[in-house]
Structure 1
Amino acid sequence: MVQLSDTRPSGTTIPGQASTDLQARRSQHVARGLGITLPVFIDHAEGALLFDVDGNRFIDLASGIAVTSVGAAAPEVARRVAEQAARFTHTCFMVTEYAGYVDVAEALNRLTPGNHEKRTALFTTGAEAVENAVKIARTATGRSAVVVLDHAYHGRTLMTMTMTAKHTPYKRGFGPYAPEIYRVPVAYPFRYVGDEKQCAADALARVEEIVRIQIGEREVAAIVAEPILGEGGFIVPAHGFYAGLAAFAREHGIVFVADEIQTGFARTGRMFACEHEGVVPDLITTAKALGGGLPLSAVTGRAEIMDAVEPGGLGGTYAGNPVSCAAALAAIDIIESQDLVGKAAAIGEHVLPRLRALADRHPVIGDVRGRGAMLAMEFVEPGTTVPNPDAARAVAAACHADGVLVLVCGTFNNVIRLLPPLVIGTDLLDEALAVLEQALAA
C-alpha cells in the first residue's frame, strides 16, 4: 500500500482555525446562496497540490471543476498574465482591438474538429458561450426551438438554467423559465436494461419521435449536447448515440452544438471529447480549461453560421478580456507542448483499473465510467440501481478529512467525480487513490 503523506501541520485540523475564522467572515458578508464543498481557504497552489491558510495540504482531484488542467499556478500562465496586465488590462474588444483576441480565435479555429472554414467569438463564462451559441443558431436558421438532453447541465443564467435538467439547486425559486426549450432522453448505459448498442438505438428513436411529434423538425434551431454529461453525473452516452444525434441534426438542418465546456482541452484524452465519436459539430462551446484559470469562453463554428449575426449582435464588455486571452494562449501552449492529451489518456489508463477493482470489492459502487482524466463512480444501494447519495457524500467527506479534494455530482447527487489537473504526477495520483480506498473501506 502507498504510504500516505501527512496532510497537515501538527495539531491542525481540517478546517483549521484560520479557515474557520475566515468562514465566519464569509457568513457575515457573502450571500448564502453560494454553496461550498470544503470550508477551507486556499493560500497557494503548486501543480496538483493546494495549500490552505492553516498549512494543510490537499491533493486536488477537482481542478476548480475542470478549469486548472495545467495546474492552479502554472508559471508560464502567471508570467504571461503579468506581462499583459503591465501593458493594459482592458479596452473592450468592441471599442479598440488587440492581437491577443485574434490569436485565441485563430488557435480555436485550428484546434477544434473539422477542416471547414471557421469563426470564433470570445465571451467570459461558459453559460455566456452556450447562450450565444443558441442566439447564433436561431439567427442562422430562423427557427426558435432548442433541444437539450436529460441530465444535462449548461449553466446558471435564465436560458442555460432552463436548458439544465436538474431542478435543485439550479432552478428552485428562479422561474418562470425561458421558452422554447425541449428535453429529450440520453442513452445512459447504467440505467438501461440491455446492451449498449440497443441503448443507443432506443434513445435515438425516442429523440426522433419527440422532435417529430412534439416539436417539429423545422422548428428546431439547435440541438445542444455535452459529449460526456458533466454535472449530470459524468454520463458517457452509449457508443453511437452522440454521432446519431449529430446525424439527425444534419439531416433536418438543425445546428448541432457540442457543449465542451467541461470536456474540452485534453480532459478526456482527446483535445475535444466529441472526437471520440468522430463528430464534427457545427458549433462548439468552450470555457473552463481554455483560460488556464482566468475567465474566458468561446463559441467556434462554421463560418457561414457564425457570420449570420450582424455586426454588434455579439459581444460583451469583458468578452475576450486581454489578460484572460494571454492566460489562454499560455494554457494552450502548455497543453500542446507537454502533450497533455496523452497525459490525460494515461491518467485514465492508470486510474480506471483501480476504480473498477474498488467496485468489485464494494457493491455500493454501481458503476465506474469516464474517459481520460474525467472519471466517476456512481453510488447505489447494493445490488440495485437505486441512487445512494449518502454513501457518495460520506466517502467524499472522508477523502476531504485526509487531504484529498473530490467532488460530488449527478442528477441524484450520488456520483463522485475525479478531475485531476493533467499535470499531476503518478505518485500523487497513487496517494490520492489510497485515500479513496481507505475511505471506502471505512
Structure 2
Amino acid sequence: MRDQHPVHSGIGRRLSTKETAETLGVKPETVYAYVSRGQLSSRREPGGRGSTFDAGEVETLARRNKRESKGISGHGGELSVRTRLTLIDQDRYYFRGVDAVELAERHSYEEVAEWLWTGQLRSGVTFTAPEAVVAVARGAVAALPEHTAPTDRLRVATIAAATEDPLRFDLSEESVLGTARVLIPTLVAALPPQPFARQHDQGPLAQRLWGRLTGHEADESSLRALDMVLALLADHDLAASTLAVRVAASARAHAYAAVSAGLGVIEGPLHGAAGGHAHKLLLNVLEQGTAVPVIADELRAGRRIPGLGHRLYTGEDPRATALFALLEQIPHAEPALLAARDIAATTARHTPLHANVDLALAVLTVSNGMLPTASETIFAVARTAGWIAHALEEYGERPLRMRPSGHYVGPRPPQPRPE
C-alpha cells in the first residue's frame, strides 16, 4: 500500500516515506536504513498508515548526501574521499591514527594488515590459504608464458582464487576479511620460485615471499627488512591504484575484482613500477662507480631521476628513512646503500629532491640479487592489504557514489549528422 501522509507547510512539516525517498533520491527501504543508522528520525502519526519524517531533517541529509555521499569533493582542485584509514601529515603518515613507521618497526606485515582492516592488533597472526585454492592459482599462473610480468601473474592468481570462492559475492565484513586472509598468501604461493631458492610454505609471509624473489639465502636481518617494507607499503592514502579499488568497490564488485582493479593500475611507471626503474639506476651507478655520469645521462635524455621526490613529502619519504636505517645494519647492503646516497647527494646539488621509498626498496632488491621486477611484486603484495581495507570502507558507503560528472568541452549540440 502507498505510504501517504498530508504534507503541511511551516515549522514541523512532515514528509511521507515516499516523499522522503524522492527528496533523498533513494529507494524507500534506504530511508529506513538511514533511520537504523541514526541519520533520520521517524514518527508514526495517530491514525496514519506509515512513518513520517521531519522535512528539515530530510533536507539537511539531502544536502549532506549531495555534498559528501558521492565520495568526491574538491579541495584545491583535487579529489578528496573521506577515510579513517591513512593520514599523511607533516612528513609523517599514520594508520588509524598510529604512526605507520612505528607500527612497521614493531609489528609484522600480517599484524599491520589486521590493524588496517579491524583496528585491532592480533599478535603473532599469520595468513594461510587452503591447498585447493593455492593449487588452482598455481595452475593458472603456470600456464602463462615464462616472460609474464609479476603483476600479470598476480592478476591471474587473483581471478583463479575468485573462481574457487563461492562466497565471493558476500560483501559482509566477516566474509571480506576471510577473503583477504586467504587471498594474500595465495598470491605469494602462486608466484614461481626462484632457482636454487629454499621454499617456505609456512611461517611469516615475508619468509614465504623471499624465495619467490631471489635464490639468495635469507638472513634474519634481510627477512626483517622485507617484512618491514611490506608493512610500510601496506597503504598510502588514496594512491591511484587505491582509487581504482574504491571505484570498483563502490560499484559493489567483490573483493577479488577490486584487488584486480588495483593490480591493473600499479603497472604504471609512475606508481608500482617505479621501484624497478630505481633498481636499474642503482645497478648502473654501481657499475660506473659514481652517480655523476649516470645522473647526467638521465637528465640529458630528458628522464626524471627515479627514486627521488614525492609530492606528499617535503623532506625524505619516512618510509625510505625507516628502511634505510634498517639496511644500514646489513653488511652486504652497504655498496647499494652508498650508491643510493650518492644518487640523492648528486641530484641535490641542483634540485632539492629527497630519497623516496622506491630508492630504498631498490637497495634491498639490488643487494639481494633480485630482479628489477621484484620491487613491483613486493609493492603489489604489500598494498593488497590496504586495498582490502579501502574496499571494506567503501562497502559501508552509499553504492555508486564514485560517479563524478564529466565537464564536457566538445562541440555544442545540435550538430549536423555526419555524412
Pick the TM interval, shorter chain. Answer: under 0.3
More strand by share: 1
TM-score (norm 1): 0.23
- Structure with higher Rg: it is 2
TM-score (norm 2): 0.24
* Larger RCO (alpha carbons 8 Å, 6+ apart): 1
More helix by share: 2
